[in-house]
Chains A and B, each alone.
Chain A
């Protein structure tokens, strides 16, 4: 009784400190929740995770994931992909590669299983691809919780919308999000413009590319400033923009190689 009372009094007295520390430590991390913990059972990683070996446990489990993926294991692959990101949510590659496995590879495995050599009806094919894309997009939505500013996650979501779901509108929206991210690759903004064109929104694409070109460094090959300018000219021709209203490419400073 003395034990219980002392422990309860100590716990109650330290509760405000505990709450304060928990608030101060608060950072987005995939700490195991009660509902998730059962998923760890049988994978031999519980002890490692409890001990603080999150990165190592996740890496070893990722090896196991690859093995299941190579064996085209439909049930184990997505479970392990989820488990890896649950153990260590920090590396982006687990989220991105996992989403690709689910969206593209698993869709093909299911199609091969369903068809058994015979052609799969288009509506079934569409449904399977849609289901897999949806699961992959859910995983990437979860990734955004931990990597809110990551352009790579937005690009991945855009790619799944574009190549799996063939949804140009959604893909364009995600490429635009990627282009606005702090670590945005140059190509995200270019692809966004291309997708606007594919939707017939030429004027918007033209304005977007004009604004984009002003910001591009001339000395960076990846920025492909020349390609963007060529596309602007192409659109000017298509939109029949008057000569005096055409985009005047900014003069490049010889020293800084910037407009």
Chain B
């Protein structure tokens, strides 16, 4: 029997099914609530603001909330949607048809990427709307502070949302890699969160090579910083909050970095899943 070739159409179909499955699991509802919390939290927490101006604070808190809730969504959705197929044995039905395991994995990943895109889009739109409304209110109450019109770089805010999506995509790919060989979703979720923290602290490993006394520490930190994605690279919100523009070349560089890791993690996930006994 002739073996069916790799089909992007089947990948798209599985991705679409993944999104529908997420809808059945009420993940979009959770996503909507998280996005609303993102915006609402930023608005409520401005009462705690002592240092920065209100708009900067809103931007900082809003993007922070988008990242935190997005990370939870990326890790939990990826693990949940992957393991639900295995636990309900539907994966056997799918793979009994002429579907590659690679197509299944990439389809699952594609579906979660679409979910995350919707989350980041919704969250960024809410945050942008909130900033626009507060800026308009501040402009009418104190026009002297805004002599040159609006101050918030809204294009920069939108690009921040895009960078956030890329980061969440890397995190989802990493969780998928763990899920592809793990036996429980809890393990995949745990490792996902651990990777999130490690990725954020990875820049500390860059500092360690400055210590000439410890060869092992230097070597180990160097290897670690090469193996894992550095999430500090995605921290562009400071630039936007400082009123600086976000060059497209910078976003392009971050996108190449993120896509490189997404490709590597999903490729390894395919490799693991092909070895896995279902």
B203 & A31 in contact (Cβ 8 Å cutoff): yes
0/1 string, B223-255, CB within 8 A of A gives 1: 101111010110111110110100101100110
CB < 8 Å neighbour of A55 from B61, B232, B264: B61
Does B45 interact with chain A (Cβ within 8 Å)? Answer: yes
The reply to whether A10 and B261 form a contact with Cβ atoms under 8 Å apart is yes
Q: Is B253 a contact partner of A21 (Cβ separation < 8 A)?
A: yes
Contact of A59 among B49, B208, B250 (CB under 8 A): B49
Q: Which of B14-22, B52-60, B82-90, B102-110 contacts A (4 or more CB under 8 A)?
A: B52-60
A257 at the interface (CB under 8 A from B): no
Chain B residues positioned under 8 Å from A148 (CB to CB): none
A34 touches B237 (CB 8 A): no
Complex contact B233–A32 (CB within 8 A):
no
Contact of B10 with A by CB under 8 A: no
B28 at the interface (CB under 8 A from A): no
Decide if A27 is an interface residue (CB 8 Å cutoff). yes
What CA separation (Å) do A1 and B253 show in the bound complex?
A: 29
**A90→B260 contact, CB < 8 A:** no
Interface residues of A, Cβ cutoff 8 Å to B: 2-4, 6-8, 10-15, 17-18, 20-22, 24-25, 27, 29, 31-35, 37, 48, 50-56, 58-60, 62-63, 88, 90-94
In the bound assembly, the distance between CA atoms of A51 and B196 in angstroms comes to: 10
Cα–Cα distance between A90 and B239 once the two chains are bound (Å): 11
Q: Inside 8 A of B61's CB, which chain A residues have their CB?
A: 53, 55-56
B63 neighbours in A (Cβ, 8 Å): 52
Give the residues in chain A near B203, CB-CB below 8 Å. Answer: 31
In the bound complex, residues from chain B placing their C-beta under 8 Å from that of A13 are 260
- Contacts A21-B253, A32-B204 hold; do A59 and B230 have CB atoms under 8 A apart? no
Question: CB of B64 within 8 A of chain A?
Answer: yes
A21 to B264 alpha-carbon distance, docked (Å): 19
Please state if A18 and B51 are interface contacts (CB–CB under 8 Å). no
Query: What's the Cα separation between A62 and B201 when bound, in Å?
Result: 24
B59's nearest neighbour on chain A, judged by CB, is A55
CA of A63 to CA of B226, assembled, Å: 39
Q: Is the CB of A15 within 8 A of B208?
A: no
One of B56, B239, B253 near A27 (C-beta < 8 A): B239
A52 near B237 with CB under 8 A, answer yes
A56 contacts B51, CB within 8 Å? no
Name the interface residues of B30-63: CB closer than 8 Å to any CB of A.
Answer: 45, 48-52, 56-57, 60-61, 63
| B:247-278 near A, CB below 8 Å | 247, 249-250, 253-254, 256-257, 260-261, 264, 267-268, 271
- Measured in the bound complex, the distance between the Cα atoms of B64 and A166 in whole Å is 45
Q: Are B236 and A52 in contact (CB under 8 A)?
A: no
In the complex, what distance in Å separates the CA atom of A2 from the CA atom of B244? 42
Q: Smallest Cβ distance from B66 to chain A, in angstroms?
A: 8
Q: Could you write out 13 A-B pairs with CB less than 8 Å apart? A: A6-B268, A7-B227, A8-B226, A10-B264, A14-B256, A14-B257, A25-B250, A51-B64, A52-B60, A52-B68, A53-B60, A53-B64, A88-B52
Q: How far is the CB of A150 from chain B (nearest CB, A)?
A: 14
A55 touches B60 (CB 8 A): yes
Q: What sequence of 0s and 1s flags, for each residue 164-199 of chain B, a beta carbon within 8 Å of any chain A beta carbon?
A: 000000000000000000000000000000000100
A4 to B226, CA, bound (A): 10
> A17 touching B48 by the CB < 8 A rule?
no
Since A7-B226, A25-B239, A91-B51 are in contact, a sample of 12 more A-B pairs with Cβ atoms closer than 8 Å, ordered by chain A residue number, is A2-B268, A2-B271, A11-B226, A12-B226, A14-B260, A25-B233, A27-B244, A51-B67, A56-B60, A62-B51, A88-B52, A90-B241
Min Cβ gap A148→B in Å is 13
